[in-house]
Amino acid sequence: MPVHNADIADIFDEIADLLEIEDANPFRVRAYRNAARTLRGTGREVRTLLAQGEDLTRLPGIGHDLAAKIEEIVETGHTAMLDKLHKRLPPDLSELLKIPGLGPKRVKALYHELDIHTLEQLHRAARDGRLRELPGFGLKTEQRILHAIESRVGSSERFKLALAAQYAEPLVEYLRAVPGVSRVVIAGSYRRARETVGDIDILVTADSGSPVMQRFTGYDEVREIVSRGPTRATVILRCGLQVDMRLVGEENYGAALHYFTGSKAHNIAIRTLARQRGLKINEYGVFRGSERVAGATETSVFKSVGLPCIPPELRENRGEIEAARKGLLPELVKLADLKGDLHAHTVATDGHNSIEQMAQAARSRGFEYLAITEHSRRLTVARGLTPERLLKQMDEIDRLNEELEGITLLKGIEVDILEDGRLDLPDDILGQLDLVVAAVHSRFNLSRRRQTERILRAMDHPHFTLLAHPGGRLIQQREPYDVDMLRIIRHARRRGCFLELNAHPERLDLLDSYCRLARDEGVLISINSDAHSTMDFDNLKYGVGQGRRGWLEKKDVLNTRPLGKLRGLLKRTMQ
């Protein structure tokens, strides 16, 4: 069966976790974590690269040993390394690591100090108040763990959008190659660019004799066939993702696509409009009595209720119908509108490619400019730049700008916002940069008042340009820190600075609701990749999807400006 990048990354993450529990060399642990991160951010499947004879050691952070393990996993579905770790450690330790707040260090303490290695044992210990006695736990941590365990019962797994794409897109390509198939499209929350999806809905149009239904249920990644009929089937893939496929006719394709794209609230509102006109809308079409009056296209469905076609990302019943009625739907930003990227890292800190390699990759995507924004000295785990190292990098950027054609490098920094709101580098250095990207990387647990004031003070710094990943969240891993985002957005408007929409699939930060709020307040958003390798620019499509959900137009996005206009906007903040 095909092995996806995400499958290999999961194996490497589990190896890293178990090695850390064993107290293995930290550099060895980090190597597996970095490899997992690289694999998740790689747009091309490594199994395809191997089939084409590519050298995997060219991938960031992949040496000969890891490349051999990747090849082993692609060929066999597992690796002897993980098998050995499973024999040395209790098998259920990996399940403990899935509990929010339980990283390898805490699981190590639970295992060695309380002999806990199953969820049931952990539940009992938390319920009995024994966890709080361990160093690094405490009452609040114990309560959070207890709540996390109990909330898992009956909850369904959701997949991050980019992870779901690794499984859904190859399936779509497989179905498109089936004889007689004319169209295959993914609907549901995936099409609406939700940050996580619970399942995948696929619509297919095909000739009457097409074997597409049999091919779907016979797909080699199907673990279980839940149901199968002449026009509909549901399967569970090996990764646990549920996929529903519906075979629809050309005459009702648009109605089905609208119905299965959702959201539920949007569909109910559209059906209410239809009833007011004496119409009925369902997945088979738009009807007046028994007569079908529309349904072949989505445009015809919307037209039947007096509306222009509403983009899928807006279909959440959050004002899009009223905007459509008034002719005020936004012309949503597109990936092709981006002229550059204002947040990228290199090997100087925790990136995997040189400045020149990053510049060439950005140029190949048609970008006019790329900002190099390494971490600052406070972030020691990323080998953040000291003032002296930053000055050397600025000289290197000046030299490259004289040599490179077709792209301009901007000098920047991702500077830490300290707890008191100061920035992590001196003013005389920051004042020499083209832009200063500032970020919170520590003390996420400050009170709402203190966290908000901390960020506002940083924004008042004369060299502050852009607030990076403003909520600080990691999807399904870390909740956003508690902050008054409305105050921050309005302060950005008064200050004349900008906010970032970080396109990394694990962040997608700003939230779509805050994107819309910033748009309404007149604050420009920069959709950035936060690239740590040349492949990470591919993630910009997820940031654009999030921006579209937030009603952002081209004019609302800072880095849709050509370089000349961008420089003028940046200069207004750096004073």
CA distance 22 to 37: 21
Contact (CB, 8 A) for 492 and 515? no
* Whether 167 and 101 share a structural domain: no
* Whether 383 and 263 share a structural domain: no
> Does an H or E element contain 31, and which?
helix 26-41
* Whether 372 and 478 share a structural domain: yes
Collapsing DSSP states into helix, strand and coil, what is residue 115? coil
Q: Given the structure tokens 């893939």, which residue do they identify? A: 237
Predicted pLDDT of residue 335: 98
- Give the pTM: 0.81
CA distance 484 to 456: 10
* Whether 257 and 383 share a structural domain: no
Chain segment 338-354, per-residue pLDDT in tens: 999 999 999 999 998 99
* Whether 523 and 431 share a structural domain: yes
* Whether 136 and 180 share a structural domain: no
CA within 13 Å, CB half, 199: 13
* Whether 142 and 164 share a structural domain: no
Q: Average pLDDT across each block of 10 residues of the chain; the chain has 575 residues. List them in order.
A: 84 91 89 90 85 89 92 89 84 77 85 82 86 86 84 69 94 96 97 95 96 96 93 94 96 97 93 94 95 96 98 94 96 98 96 95 97 92 90 97 97 97 95 97 91 97 96 87 92 97 94 94 97 94 97 98 96 71
435 bridge partner residues: 412
20 is a domain residue: yes
CA within 13 Å, CB half, 361: 21
Domain CATH code at residue 535? 3.20.20.140
* Whether 347 and 267 share a structural domain: no
Predicted pLDDT of residue 273: 94
330 is a domain residue: no
**Amino acid at site 55:** D
Collapsing DSSP states into helix, strand and coil, what is residue 307? coil
Predicted pLDDT of residue 154: 46
Residue 561, domain extent: 335-573
Peptide bond preceding 263 in cis form (omega within 30 of 0): yes
Predicted pLDDT of residue 1: 63
Predicted pLDDT of residue 114: 87
**Which residues lie closer than 8 Å to 295 by C-beta, 6 or more apart?**
251, 252, 253, 254, 255, 284, 285, 286, 301
* Local structure of residue 561 (DSSP, 8 states): S
Which residue in 170, 135, 150 sits closest to 48, CA to CA? 170
186 bridge partner residues: 202
* Whether 138 and 174 share a structural domain: no
* Whether 458 and 528 share a structural domain: yes
Q: How many structural domains comprise the chain?
A: 4
Chain segment 19-50, per-residue pLDDT in tens: 988 888 999 999 999 999 888 877 788 999 99
